[in-house]
Amino acid sequence: MLWTKIKRIIKTGSKSFARNGSVSVASTLVMTVTLSVITSLIFVGALLQSTLQGIKEKVDINVYLESSATDSQAESLRTALDERPDVALVTYTTAEEVLAAFRARHEGNPLIVDALDEVGGNPLEASINIRAVDPSQYQAIADFIQEKNVSGENTRNIVKKISYLDNKEAIDTLSRIISSSERLGIIIAIFFIIISILITFNTVRLAIYTSKDEIAVMRLVGASSRYIKGPFVIIGILYGFISSVITLAIFYPITYSLGNLTYNLGTGMNVFTYYLANFMQITVIVIVTGVVLGMISSYLAVKKYIKL
């Protein structure tokens, strides 16, 4: 008996959806736009996070030593860093090795080689390169190096410059930009969600108005409140579900065409590959969001305009 009522409610709601064709199409299109915005935020957020993570992974600390620093002092600092659990790799390069690498890099440019010979001696400093286990640990490592440079027994006054201090500002700036973009995206999504709810609300209200004679007949024959309200909730669910399917279908060719472009831009992520790899999660998010939006809109309209 219960299943029979459910089937009748679904059938009645589907007929009402088809009967109000143009209005249903308009409401579905608006909800599709909303779901497209929400889906775009998923991809944009993933791109921004992938870009930031890629930059962080390329960041390391280069410690440039004073020309007066001895090999034993540099080795003491290298050993102290190597003993830290947050340091993955430490490489010490002497001034002579830095000079040799510089010459090899510019051997095809006689102007630079001649200028280097003109200077005489070795103007380049020895350096220590540090790669952390996790990018978030670089600040602690940089603080440790500065502390050793100030108060270390065999490592005082040997550090000329720590490159991370320059990179940190760029990373922090990028992080702020990403956070601001995410907040702006959420505001835009909320705006479209409100518009979708309002339009679906009015669409269902119109469906209620055009079905007022049928509602009156159902009341006379003793139909229950849930039975009368059910078809209009089904209409909202159909709006959400159909819009979700359209949105998912639209993003397949979009991500396919933009896949190589997003990767070549240096984000480290192909949006088409991401779409396929996370298709189930994205599908669930889009469909649940669409159906919930449709249900909320329909419920509010039914509650306001059908007094039983």
Stronger pLDDT, 9 or 43, i.e. the higher one: 43
pLDDT at 220 (0 to 100): 67
Pairing of strands 61-65, 159-162: antiparallel
Q: How far apart are CA 188 and CA 81, in angstroms?
A: 47
pLDDT at 284 (0 to 100): 92
Q: What is the pLDDT of residues 72-131, one digit of tens each?
A: 888 888 888 888 898 888 888 888 887 788 778 777 777 776 776 776 667 778 888 888
Domains of the chain: 2-56+171-305 (no CATH), 67-157 (3.30.70)
The pLDDT of residue 162 is above 80: yes
Q: How far apart are CA 138 and CA 81, in angstroms?
A: 12
Tokens, residue 63? 């410690």
pLDDT category at 218 given cuts 50, 70, 90 is low
pTM over 0.85: no
The gap from C-alpha 190 to its chain's centroid, in whole angstroms, comes to: 17
Tokens, residue 246? 């359209």
Stronger pLDDT, 58 or 294, i.e. the higher one: 294
Q: How far apart are CA 100 and CA 121, in angstroms?
A: 12
pLDDT at 280 (0 to 100): 92
pLDDT at 222 (0 to 100): 66
The CA distances from residue 120 to 53, 99, 113, in Å, are 42, 12, 11
